[in-house]
């Protein structure tokens, strides 16, 4: 039997699992750009997706589709039409296991998209590395947890 692919929102209030996924895609439509606050929407079809902790909030984004997001932290989680449910690739605990294989709705693709990988890379400085090392993340870990939210440790 296939292993569950799991994921969830940034704060951990909503979690999901699926065993059967289809082809991953990046959608360039304007609604996906707005829903993800990004250049495209990375999604993968699920044939058995289920919510394992909490329930997302839904926005009826058009007469043909609705979008799920965490009502606590706002993380985009899913897109649903009469054809089924698609989960946000970045919300998976191991997004490398569900890579995009196609692009859709290229008519809305942003003009600078093709040049993104050619942008110069800023090297990490010691100052930035020290800053990042000192941060305590409140983000839910990339795995299921027994309880949520985590128990506060006594001071």
* CATH number corresponding to 5-113: 2.170.150.70
The strand pair at 5-8 and 15-18 is best described as antiparallel
pTM of the predicted structure, to 2 decimals: 0.87
pLDDT tens digits, residue range 68-103? 999 999 999 999 999 999 999 999 999 999 999 999
**CA–CA dist 72, 41 (Å, integer):** 20
Delimit the domains of the chain by residue range.
5-113
Q: What percent of the chain has pLDDT over 70?
A: 95
């Amino acid at each position: 039997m296939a292993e569950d692919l799991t994921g969830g929102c940034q704060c951990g209030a909503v979690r999901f699992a699926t065993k059967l996924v289809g082809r991953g895609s990046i959608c360039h439509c304007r609604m996906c750009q707005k829903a993800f606050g990004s250049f495209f929407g990375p999604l993968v079809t699920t044939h058995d997706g289920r919510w394992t902790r909490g329930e997302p909030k839904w926005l009826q984004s058009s007469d043909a589709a609705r979008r799920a997001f965490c009502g606590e932290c706002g993380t985009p989680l899913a897109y649903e039409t009469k054809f089924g449910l698609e989960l946000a690739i970045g919300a998976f605990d191991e997004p490398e296991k569900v890579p995009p294989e196609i692009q859709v709705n290229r008519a809305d693709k942003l003009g600078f998209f093709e040049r993104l990988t050619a942008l110069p890379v800023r090297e990490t400085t010691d100052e930035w590395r020290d800053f990042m090392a000192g941060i305590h993340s409140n983000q839910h870990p990339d795995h299921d947890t027994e309880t949520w939210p985590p128990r506060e440790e006594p001071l």
